[in-house]
Amino acid sequence: MMLSKDSQESNFKIPKIKFTQLFINGEFVDSVSGKTFETIDPRNEEVIARIAEGDEEDIDLAVKAAREAFDHGPWPRLTPKERRRIMLKFADLILEHVKEIAVLDTMDAGKLFSAIKTIEIPNVADVLCYYAGATDKIHGTTLKMSGEIQGYTLLEPIGVVGHIIPWNFPSQMFAYKVAPALAAGCTMVVKPAEQSPLSALYYAYLAKQAGIPDGVINVVTGFGPTAGAALSSHMDVDKITFTGSTEVGHLVMQAAATSNLKPGSLEMGGKCPFIVFDDVDVDKIASLAFVGAIYNKGEGCVCGSRLFIQEAIYDKFVKKLEETAKTWVVGDPFDPNTRHGPQIDKIQFEKVLSYIEHGKREGATLLTGGNALDRKGYFIEPTIFIDVEDDMIIAKEEIFGPVLSVMKFKTVEEVIKRANCTKYGLAAGVMTKDLNIANTVSRSIRAGVIWINCYFAFDPDCPYGGYKCSGFERDLGMEGLHKFLQVKSVATPIYNSPWL
Ligand code: NAD
């Protein structure tokens, strides 16, 4: 691991934060209580800004605005063409403001400035464009009814939606939830994570500039157990979507079930297997495996944090992983040379370090890293454990930090069984040139996304979500749109039906 040197970008001055209030019914407003909370820069533990702290009353005001916009406002009633035009304008405005938004996510979440600027925020615009293009492709079916009745289905927007999003990809998570809900004709209340509220407020501002009517997108910043819980249990929210931990997913579903039985869509944790067979190009796949585990400082639910390597190439592969870790630059995420910035906050930082201690105590061999950097901020070295056993805590629990657990396997049957031995089922990687093995393994792994000879191959058209405790329903793709639609069946007698 290397330390980043200061560069021009890393010395930049923190800009004045423009939006720190709640966004309700098209206006930036203080919270009813007047309370605020600090959002902290994980690079230096300093306060970036004070943000309005929304709670139950603010959620209620936001839901009322969304309800009014849904029941009486123009958005659900616009022609698809008009809705598409406004969504495309929104995407264009985002592209015009990439740098400003990227600065916010880097300061708030310690994310790599270069990656957000060139990949993540352009992806937000892509997702909006994808769903803008879907607005006029929402149609039902003609039914083959028996008897003298004609029937068809209509797909109608589900209504007012609550979106609860996490901090690790603040921009993309906003887009994955908001863009399809907009295309469907829904109105919504977004509750960003308390650690990274800034970009969601900026998107709300741009949405208004683009012509999205007041009340359609409302953003209530605040904490999970207060604002988040109030949104999940609100009687006038018709659907709740959530991305976050499995633990909180349970709470969200309980609140949804015990309030108005609203349906939920959950994207939750992962402990994804990355499986490498012995016919691969070791240098290439070892680099991919390393990035697959450590990208975004391991703060990714799809990170391939359980690496299974077939025994014939195990030693060579491990050596290459070690070499890659040595060249990995940890430091200020504004520095273009940095590959890995600070963990999101003190809580997550300490949690990751405690998992590293568990790994050492349980007898895994520490190959690289294992320490926090001796500087201000929440920086942790990329950490690789080898000789990891399936029943060790570091092999079972989601660490959500730059920690890779490496395991050896012999056969296809064995690795399928071991890879599936987890409560999670989000994603998996299968690396082999053997088509038969690739097909067998990809069909046998119980996970919502399988990447063969690639990793993190996201696309707006590719549905994404989990099996088992990783969740249900999908973001992205047409599945990501259909979860915001409901089916209405219409039947009417024809010819000489006895109904007439
Ligand atoms: P978290 O579950 O603590 O928080 C996620 C969101 O839920 C935040 O907005 C938070 O304020 C809110 N929240 C917290 N308590 C709540 C409550 N009682 N009621 C309603 N909302 C509440 O998760 P986190 O620590 O912010 O994020 C890390 C977790 O998210 C990891 O487990 C990770 O795997 C998961 N994650 C999953 C995906 C995915 O797509 N599957 C993506 C990103 C993160």
Could you give the CA distance from residue 480 to residue 493 in angstroms, rounded to a whole number?
34
Would residue 387 count as lying in a domain?
yes
Task: For residue 199, give the amino acid letter.
Answer: S
Would residue 386 count as lying in a domain?
yes
Give the pLDDT confidence score for residue 7 in this predicted structure. Answer: 45
pTM for the whole structure: 0.96
Verify whether ligand 1 is closer than 6 Å to residue 352 (CB atom). no
- Tally the residues of the chain: 500
- Res. 413: pLDDT tops 90: yes
Atom of ligand 1 nearest to the CA of 247: 2
| Digit-coded pLDDT (tens) for 79-110 | 999 999 999 999 999 999 999 999 999 999 99
Would residue 426 count as lying in a domain?
yes
User: How large is the average pLDDT for residues 173-198?
Assistant: 98
Could you give the CA distance from residue 57 to residue 218 in angstroms, rounded to a whole number?
14
Residues 78 and 198 in one domain: yes
CA of 281 from ligand 1 middle (Å) equals: 36
CA of 492 from ligand 1 middle (Å) equals: 46
* Residue listed under structure tokens 């293009």: 133
Identify the band that residue 12 occupies on the pLDDT scale cut at 50, 70 and 90: low
CA of 224 from ligand 1 middle (Å) equals: 8
- Res. 217: pLDDT tops 90: yes
Verify whether ligand 1 is closer than 6 Å to residue 98 (CB atom). no
Would residue 359 count as lying in a domain?
yes
Q: In whole numbers, what is the pLDDT of the chain averaged over residues?
A: 96
Atom of ligand 1 nearest to the CA of 267: 41
Verify whether ligand 1 is closer than 6 Å to residue 269 (CB atom). yes
Would residue 463 count as lying in a domain?
no
Residue 417 is part of which domain span?
A: 273-452
Identify the band that residue 499 occupies on the pLDDT scale cut at 50, 70 and 90: confident
Could you give the CA distance from residue 193 to residue 264 in angstroms, rounded to a whole number?
18
| Digit-coded pLDDT (tens) for 244-293 | 999 999 999 999 999 999 999 999 999 999 999 999 999 999 999 999 99
Give the pLDDT confidence score for residue 11 in this predicted structure. Answer: 56
Q: What is the dihedral of CA 157, 159, 164, 168, to 10 degrees?
A: 20
Would residue 4 count as lying in a domain?
no
Percent with pLDDT over 70 in the chain: 97
Give the pLDDT confidence score for residue 196 in this predicted structure. Answer: 98
Residues 214 and 72 in one domain: yes
- Where residue 420 sits, what CATH number does that domain have? 3.40.309.10
Whether 217 contacts 207, CB under 8 Å: yes
- Where residue 27 sits, what CATH number does that domain have? 3.40.605.10
CB atoms < 10 A from the CB of 285, how many? 23
Verify whether ligand 1 is closer than 6 Å to residue 232 (CB atom). yes
Structural tokens at position 365: 């061999």
Verify whether ligand 1 is closer than 6 Å to residue 227 (CB atom). no
User: How large is the average pLDDT for residues 197-225?
Assistant: 98
Structural tokens at position 202: 């900026």
Residues 220 and 87 in one domain: yes
The CA-based angle 376-382-387, given to 5 degrees, is 140
Residues 246 and 321 in one domain: no
**Core vs surface per residue 160-190: b (16+ CB within 10 A) or e:** bbbbbbbbbbbbbbbbbbbbbbbbbbbbbbb
Atom of ligand 1 nearest to the CA of 269: 34
Could you give the CA distance from residue 11 to residue 339 in angstroms, rounded to a whole number?
17
The CA-based angle 448-451-454, given to 5 degrees, is 155
Residues 283 and 260 in one domain: no
User: How large is the average pLDDT for residues 394-403?
Assistant: 98
Verify whether ligand 1 is closer than 6 Å to residue 267 (CB atom). yes
| Nearest alpha carbon, ligand 1 atom 24 | 244
Could you give the CA distance from residue 40 to residue 346 in angstroms, rounded to a whole number?
10
Beta bridge partners of 52: 36
Would residue 458 count as lying in a domain?
no
Residues 295 and 217 in one domain: no
Could you give the CA distance from residue 190 to residue 200 in angstroms, rounded to a whole number?
8
Residues 67 and 162 in one domain: yes
Residues 230 and 278 in one domain: no
User: How large is the average pLDDT for residues 318-334?
Assistant: 97
Residues 169 and 71 in one domain: yes
CA of 194 from ligand 1 middle (Å) equals: 10
HEC profile of the chain: CEECCCCCHHHCCCCCCCCCCEEECCEEECCCCCCEEEEEECCCCEEEEEEECECHHHHHHHHHHHHHHHHCCCHHHCCHHHHHHHHHHHHHHHHHCHHHHHHHHHHHHCCCHHHHHHHHHHHHHHHHHHHHCCHHHCCCCEECCCCCEEEEEEEEECCEEEEECCCCCHHHHHHHHHHHHHHHCCEEEEECCCCCCHHHHHHHHHHHHHCCCCCCEEECCECHHHHHHHHHCCCCCCEEEEECCHHHHHHHHHHHHHCCCCCEEEECCCCCEEEECCCCCHHHHHHHHHHHHHHHHHCCCCCCCEEEEEHHHHHHHHHHHHHHHHHCEECCCCCCCCCECCCCCHHHHHHHHHHHHHHHHCCCEEEECCCECCCCCCCECCEEEECCCCCCHHHHCCCCCCEEEEEEECCHHHHHHHHCCCCEECEEEEECCCHHHHHHHHHHCCCCEEEECCCCCCCCCCCECCEECCEECCECHHHHHHCCEEEEEEEEECCCCCCC
- Res. 239: pLDDT tops 80: yes
* Residue listed under structure tokens 């105590």: 361
Q: What is the set of active-site residues?
A: 267, 301
Residues 384 and 475 in one domain: no
Taking the chain, what is the end-to-end CA distance rounded to the nearest angstrom? 79
Identify the band that residue 495 occupies on the pLDDT scale cut at 50, 70 and 90: confident
How many folded domains does the chain comprise?
2
- Res. 41: pLDDT tops 60: yes
Residues 169 and 305 in one domain: no
Residues 252 and 278 in one domain: no
Verify whether ligand 1 is closer than 6 Å to residue 290 (CB atom). no
Would residue 21 count as lying in a domain?
yes
Whether 187 contacts 215, CB under 8 Å: yes
Kind of pairing between the strands at 467-468 and 149-157: unpaired
CA of 166 from ligand 1 middle (Å) equals: 5
Atom of ligand 1 nearest to the CA of 194: 11
Give the pLDDT confidence score for residue 5 in this predicted structure. Answer: 55
